[in-house]
Amino acid sequence: MRNGAHGGAPNACERFTAGFTILLGAFVALQARTPAATAALGADGLFALLLLVGTPRLRRGHIAVVRYLAVGLPLLGFYFLYLQTGLLDPARTQWHDATLLGLQSRVLPQVPYVPSSPVREWLAFSYLAYEPILVTGTAALFAPGTGGSQRRAGDAVRRVCYTLACCFVIGLAYPAMSPRYVTPELQVRHLGSGFFSRMAMLAGRDAMVPGTSFPSAHVAAVVVLMWDLWAARRALFWILLPLALSMTAGTVLLFFHYVPDVAGAVVVGAGAIVFDRWWNPRGPGQGRTRKTKATAGLPLR
């Protein structure tokens, strides 16, 4: 089983996430050079150990909820990695917001103001629905928790993890603050004063960090998940599609991202799908098999 749904060894997603966690933690610690960044690197090591040793055991559990949590654990780790980027020293960072804003002005000279308060509320709600979309989508792919559905959810999580890692790497190589930090007064004006608008401002203040704006990890991850839902859960795809499209539009209209952030996210998400389909071909009995003396000349099984 290439995804290790019932195996005792860590699967490709867990190995990849563990390695990426250590590398990103080391980069942050070297760049920030603070005790907090060093302590975070130690926590990264513990999380990597949990992924490699503990998660395979959880995947073999008898309770479906436990197995689902084990499948989705790498995604939770990426959220804490995102928060960890907030430890980077901004004084040693060259921001590229002006360049991204210049590119945006060529296609959208001015971000339009949405006069309708209910529409603004819907856009804010859609933006806040990022985590629920991931949880709902992966849970739907996991249900009913059989070996096949568990592997299917594991495939989706692996692709999302590849996507998030790529977004992080690009964001660290080409850092941008995002409009919510560059022009906060414009964001307040465009959000309004509704409940979900206030929640979005609160999330931007307490649950988000400056940097890694380009490309939008929100949009890229949802693009990948929607591709999996189209393939396996078509009804849920159509249910979530309006929410996903509104979230994508809201990232720009509510000043969370620039237009190039969204365009780059779509490219990254599509690229992750293409890469994963090449690296892990889908289909009955397919998978990358190392050619050895025992397997040479034999068909893939």
Could you tell me the sign of the dihedral formed by the alpha carbons of 252, 257, 261, 262, in that order?
Answer: negative
* pLDDT computed for residue 203 by the predictor: 83
pTM over 0.75: yes
* Residues near 81 by beta carbon (within 8 Å), at least 6 away in sequence: 20, 21, 24, 25, 44, 168
Alpha-carbon torsion angle 241, 243, 249, 253, nearest 10: 170
Asked if 26 contacts 175 with a C-beta cutoff of 8 angstroms, the reply is no
Question: Amino acid identity of 125?
Answer: F
Decide: residue 238, CB within 10 A, 0-12 exposed, 13-18 middle, 19+ buried.
exposed
298 phi, psi to nearest 5 deg? -100, 145
Q: Which two tokens stand for residue 234?
A: 């078509």
DSSP string for 13-50: HHHHHHHHHHHHHHHHHHHH-SHHHHHHHHHHHHHHHI
The DSSP-derived string for 248-274 is HHHHHHTTSS-HHHHHHHHHHHHHHHH
Q: Is 104 exposed, middle or buried (0-12, 13-18, 19+ CB in 10 A)?
A: buried
Name the stretches of the chain with pLDDT < 70. Answer: 1-7, 282-301
What local confidence, expressed as pLDDT, does residue 215 receive? Answer: 95
Say what the pLDDT of residue 294 is.
36
Query: What is the rounded distance in angstroms from the CA atom of residue 52 to the CA atom of residue 56?
Result: 7
Question: What does residue 207 show for φ and ψ, rounded to 5 degrees?
Answer: -115, 5
pLDDT for res 282? 60
